[in-house]
Amino acid sequence: MERRTAMTRSMVVLVFIAIAMVVSPAVNSLPTGIGGDNIQSQGCNCHNTLPSSNVIPSLAGLPEEYNVSTTYTLTISFSGGPAEGGVNSGGFNLWASDGDFSVVDATVQARSPTELTHTEAGNDYRSWTIEWTSPDHGRNVDFILHVNSVNGDGANTGGIDEWNRLDVTVAGSAGAGLEAADAFKVLGTLIMISLVLLTVTILYGFYRTNPDNFTWDYLAPWITGWLTSTDHKRIGTLYFVQGLFFLGVGGIMAMMIRVQLAGPDTGFISQDQYNQFFTLHGTTMIFLAAMPLIAGFANWIVPLQIGAPDLALPRINALSFWLQPFAALLIFTGVFSGEGADTGWTGYAPYVVSAGAHRGVTFWVAGQIMLVASSTLTGINFLTTIAVMRAKGMGWMQMPLFTWSILVANVMLFLSIPAFGIGLIQVFLDRTISTAFYDMAAGGDPLLWSHLFWYFGHPEVYVVIVPAFGVISEVIATSARRSIFGYRSMVYAMAGIGLLSFIVYGHHMFTSGMSPTLRFVTMLTTMLVAVPTGIKIFNWLKTMHGGSLVYRTHTLWALGFLVTFTLGGISGMYFPAIAMDLHLHETYFVVAHFHYVLVGGTVFGMFAAIYYWYPKMTGRMLDERLGTLHFLIGFISYNGIFWPMHRLGVVGMPRRTHTYFITTDDFTSLPEWAADWNLFISVSAFIFFFSNLILVANMLTSLVRGQKAPADPWGGWSFEWMVSSPPPTPSFDWNNLPELRDANEHIANEPTRMGAWFNRLMVPDQEEEASN
Amino acid sequence: MSGYDDSDHPVEPWGPHDWSHGAPHNSFSPIFMSMGIALFLFMMAQAWSFGTYTPGYIPGILLGLAIVGFGLFIFWRQDISFDGSYEPRSSGVPFKNIQIRKVAVWVFLMSEMMVFTSLFSTYMRYRLGIENCGDMYERLEASHELVSGATYTCFEPASHLIASSGWHLTPGAINTFALILSSFTIVQALRYAKMPDIDEEVRRRKVYRYLGSTWCLAVLFLTLKMVEWFIGFHIPEIGFLGISEQNIHPLVAEGYTINADAYTHHDYHDFIMNIQVSASLFYVTTGTHGAHVAGGIIGLSYMTYKAWRGGYTPTNAVSIEYFGLYWHFVDLVWVLVFPFFYLY
């Protein structure tokens, strides 16, 4: 697979080079100097495709071994070729890998501190004098000199003009020095290491289940059991392991991004590579980490909470899971060849269908299509399960809030994701068989993609936060040792968020040129969605106020969630005000906002869920001291990462750009403190990353050595606490399903008037069956 | 972690499955289907890149499809022994006593509605947003602005070709009736499978023949679609009926392709059109519907085989109803696609 990709890729690259060399000169502005981005690789191909050995360039004045921080006077000259004295006889471009050039007269101009070319005044010379100051590190420096020798007739056709290239390396006292690390090699290595660690952990898990039989004969059925299981608990664990693994991989990408951004112009990740980094970071975190973690808990806990032995469609559930690792393989295709998707996780048209975007975009799209299928099947499964498999006595308004949150999230998901799927299929077909959905020359409309994407994209972000709401409700109620305050309003709030989420997506498109009327309407609906969310926050606060809070680690994370999600929600409320959005769009303010709600919301919710339900899922208690340590370090470092980003965004630090500048003579510069705060953010990021390893260590050691967990360690009331830890398989006996009798935390069992009317409408009489 | 507590419960991930114990606890089907889909999409992306076809990947594409087929085979190997003894029903309002799998099919159809809604949205955006080629031609002709040799980007609906004559419409019309008829035959299959007091051999034959007819009609649908798109057909002269000889060209021969950036039509004199968007929309939308019909054919193949083996009895006849629901949905979508894409 990789060889073929590499072969295809090199063929494509060769084709592009050939086309570029023949069709479009890579350099520009001829009499006034030679520039262009590709001169180092393609030469002065305006004058001729290939260099000519008649022209002999020379670079005089360089020492055998330079002294650090010394200025040398260099002379660039050439002989040969058709140049005669007078007009337009020659030009040059000199590039150095290090050091600084200085211009001494008007015949030379600097394109950058390390690249010089001639000026219009210097266009009729055959030699030029410049100065070069050596760097202070003492490593070898490379020079690339291009000179062209022209016949002065002002035309560059006919093959008369000639050019040539000279490569010179000047040694320094320190020798060749270390090769700069290639970001993709680093990423690839770290991913490999993570995979090895995962494999070792899995094998160790196998060893612990069966210490006396650590042989292949026992391993094969054990692995087969995991690969083929349709049991919701096993599938939940599979989702979980996948989610945690990709949380780590996404985190590694984030760490590398923070290394790149730790200072201005660090040069660790190139512009092109950086585009791939933030694309993959976003895609990995949302689709391969957050959603599987939520699916993992949903799979584990929802059937237990409603008293169902399994989900409605067990094999389809397994299919939903298995689509994900294979989709991940497709999405990550291109990372190891350097041609990964570079469109941003939002994949905007027309770039996403352009030949300029990397080859990996097609595979990214294909992987996303598989994930769409996975999510659709999951949505169908959970909606059906919750609708039809609730225990006797558990009406809709007696369900635990986590189950409600999964229901709302899945309804939003499976109604919105097909639109994304269709958009993806259109992009896939555009990129393969060349349909014209987003081909602007043929009349295609890139805004169509934006609509299809954000019609899904906005409900999607609520899909990842609403289950966290459910977790927080469960955790706070149990920790406060009382039932949640305002159960009914919590349900209506979640349903309201679910409904509203479909009519606010325009707020992602405020800068796309949409009509002012629609922008106004979307502004109002977006502001409206804060209301049900606020209701939930007040209900949580009131639950604690009326209860007696016990501080376990899950409680701490839930409290942290309340702080960070509220802050994230408030920062989000700046965007509906359209004038503010126009200013803040594509700045780090956006990055701060969504990381506050995604990490401070979803991830913290998932951490709370881990500490809350781990005893149920594994039968072991997690260590509370390690948990508290994880929380303290993690919470503080997390705020250290994302809080300063608000201010950076307001002063205009743009997002999705590989570096930033603080020099005062560049109009896109930032104030000097921006660099200091970016460094602070990067350091905090590393602390946060490593604090999460405390959680992993806690989970692994508790699995082996943790205290055995009772059925109900926290004093919860929902059904999952009535079964053993871990639960048996099947979770409940089909012939002996539980019955809900006393749901004291929920309202009374009598149906409301609406419920009674619905009952009479839908439920058939006792004598006849609903269908035969 | 939790394994299985009862030791008399063999693990059969390859099938067949004993349904008296409930749904399969293990199945290789999901992992193989996922592997196959990933391989198929990967090979498709390698084979085609911006319209450039690189040969040599067809075996890979077929391998991917074969692996998906293998996964389906395992799925059905576990299902073929299903006799309805395990068909749980809903316990709660509002679906009380309705089979769980039936509710699941309805929910699935809701998501499929969103799929076709998105396709129709795309169609509406482009159909209403890009000027119709006929209107553009008339407008430019009337104002004498038509530039000879220039290419104009406009929306050319397929109906201009297909609805241009009765013979052109014939495959589409037959297809419509074929699908509607197939919805009838599938209901008949269900009726005979459910019928309480008939001879088992009679039941087997009736169900098998009705399912087989549904299969044949679905295959006819796809065949006529291929005729319409790629093959075309010839009408011989039948003097006594007043039918003159005609050659009905397929759409691609008329130039109606997704790469058509220099399309002409005899109605528009000296008018070159870029109709890539219109053609892409037509083929992808009707193609998506066709893909759903193809999926139905695959399901029908399994069901016809199971019926031939006498596998449908009143206890498990409801399985036919699950497919019937999906099939009615496909029929309904066609009833919407046909007027919008073929007639209007």
Compute the mean pLDDT over every residue in chain A, rounded to the nearest whole number.
87
Tell me the pLDDT tens digit for each residue of A609-649.
999 999 999 999 999 999 999 999 999 999 999 999 999 99
Residue of B nearest to A425 (CA): B284
Decide if B98 and A227 are in contact by the 8 Å CB cutoff. Answer: no
pLDDT of residue A765: 52
Encoded tokens for B153: 């980007």
Q: CB contacts < 8 Å between A and B, how many?
A: 277
A20 CB within 8 Å of a chain B CB: no
- Dist. CA B221–CA B113, nearest whole Å: 21
Domain containing residue B301: 94-343
Inter-helix orientation angle A446-479/A487-500, to 10°? 170
End of a domain among B64, B86, B108? B86
Please tell me whether residues B44 and B138 are part of one structural domain: no
Please tell me whether residues B233 and B202 are part of one structural domain: yes
pLDDT of residue A745: 46
Decide if B48 and A323 are in contact by the 8 Å CB cutoff. Answer: no
Residue B3: which of A367, A381, A729 has the nearest Cβ?
Answer: A729
Please tell me whether residues B317 and B174 are part of one structural domain: yes
Decide if A319 and B13 are in contact by the 8 Å CB cutoff. Answer: no
* Residues of A in Cβ contact (< 8 Å) with B25: 229-231, 314, 729
Averaged over A7-30, what is the pLDDT?
53
Name the residue with tokens 């022994």. Answer: B81
Tell me the pLDDT tens digit for each residue of A727-739.
988 888 878 888 8
Decide if A315 and B27 are in contact by the 8 Å CB cutoff. Answer: yes
- Dist. CA A316–CA A393, nearest whole Å: 28
Decide if A370 and B1 are in contact by the 8 Å CB cutoff. Answer: no
End of a domain among B35, B57, B86? B86
From the number of C-beta atoms within 10 Å of its C-beta (0-12, 13-18, 19+), residue B202 rates as exposed
pLDDT of residue A28: 39
Averaged over A299-318, what is the pLDDT?
93
A390 CB within 8 Å of a chain B CB: yes
The number of helix segments (H) and strand segments (E) in chain A equals 21, 9
Please tell me whether residues B57 and B126 are part of one structural domain: no
CB atoms within 10 A of CB B208: 22
- Dist. CA A499–CA A503, nearest whole Å: 8
Residue of B nearest to A329 (CA): B38
pLDDT of residue A424: 96
- Dist. CA B318–CA B312, nearest whole Å: 9
Decide if B118 and A233 are in contact by the 8 Å CB cutoff. Answer: no
DSSP H or E run through A115:
strand A115-118
Residue B100: which of A389, A435, A443 has the nearest Cβ?
Answer: A389
Determine the 3-state secondary structure of B234 from DSSP: strand
Find out whether A258 and A682 touch, Cβ atoms under 8 Å.
yes
Which residues make Cβ contacts (< 8 Å) with residue A431, sequence separation at least 6? Answer: A352, A353, A361, A362, A365, B45, B49, B50
Residue A718 has pLDDT above 60, yes or no: yes
State how far residue A643 is from chain B, nearest Cα, in angstroms: 39
Mutate to test the interface with A, among B21, B99, B111 (most CBs of A within 10 A): B111
Decide if A329 and B24 are in contact by the 8 Å CB cutoff. Answer: no
Please tell me whether residues B158 and B223 are part of one structural domain: yes
Residue A88 has pLDDT above 70, yes or no: no
Please tell me whether residues B322 and B256 are part of one structural domain: yes
- Dist. CA A597–CA A569, nearest whole Å: 7
Decide if B1 and A618 are in contact by the 8 Å CB cutoff. Answer: yes
Please tell me whether residues B143 and B262 are part of one structural domain: yes
Residue A225: which of B24, B26, B318 has the nearest Cβ?
Answer: B26
Residue A427 has pLDDT above 90, yes or no: yes
Please tell me whether residues B227 and B299 are part of one structural domain: yes
Positive/negative CA dihedral, A199, A204, A206, A212: positive
- Dist. CA A88–CA B328, nearest whole Å: 77
pLDDT of residue A15: 60
Residue A322: which of B34, B101, B274 has the nearest Cβ?
Answer: B34
* Residues of B in Cβ contact (< 8 Å) with A435: 258, 276, 280, 283-284
Please tell me whether residues B209 and B151 are part of one structural domain: yes
CA angle A165, A171, A174 (to 5 degrees): 145
Decide if A389 and B155 are in contact by the 8 Å CB cutoff. Answer: no
Please tell me whether residues B40 and B188 are part of one structural domain: no
- Dist. CA B28–CA B20, nearest whole Å: 20
pLDDT of residue A212: 86
By DSSP bridging, strand A90-96 and strand A141-149 are: antiparallel
- Dist. CA A240–CA A318, nearest whole Å: 13
Please tell me whether residues B246 and B265 are part of one structural domain: yes
Which residues make Cβ contacts (< 8 Å) with residue A585, sequence separation at least 6? Answer: A510, A511
Find out whether A382 and A298 touch, Cβ atoms under 8 Å.
yes
pLDDT of residue A16: 59
Please tell me whether residues B63 and B108 are part of one structural domain: no
Give A118's pLDDT tier (boundaries 50, 70, 90): confident
pLDDT of residue A633: 97
A533 CB within 8 Å of a chain B CB: no
pLDDT of residue B245: 87
Give A772's pLDDT tier (boundaries 50, 70, 90): very low
pLDDT of residue A139: 81
Tell me the pLDDT tens digit for each residue of A647-706.
999 998 999 999 888 866 556 678 888 999 999 999 999 999 999 999 999 999 998 888
A 402-421 residues with CB < 8 A to B: 414-416, 418-419, 421
Indicate the number of domains in chain B: 2
Which ipTM value was assigned to this complex?
0.93
A619 CB within 8 Å of a chain B CB: no
Decide if A384 and B111 are in contact by the 8 Å CB cutoff. Answer: no
Decide if A391 and B91 are in contact by the 8 Å CB cutoff. Answer: yes
Averaged over A126-142, what is the pLDDT?
86
* CATH code, domain carrying B265: 1.20.120.80
Residues of chain B with pLDDT under 70: 1-10
State how far residue B245 is from chain A, nearest Cα, in angstroms: 35
- Dist. CA B101–CA B289, nearest whole Å: 23
Averaged over A397-413, what is the pLDDT?
94
* Residues of A in Cβ contact (< 8 Å) with B123: none
Indicate which residues of A carry an active-site annotation.
Answer: 281, 310, 345, 374-375, 458, 460, 462, 473, 507-508, 533, 536, 655
Averaged over A141-146, what is the pLDDT?
88
End of a domain among B66, B86, B106? B86
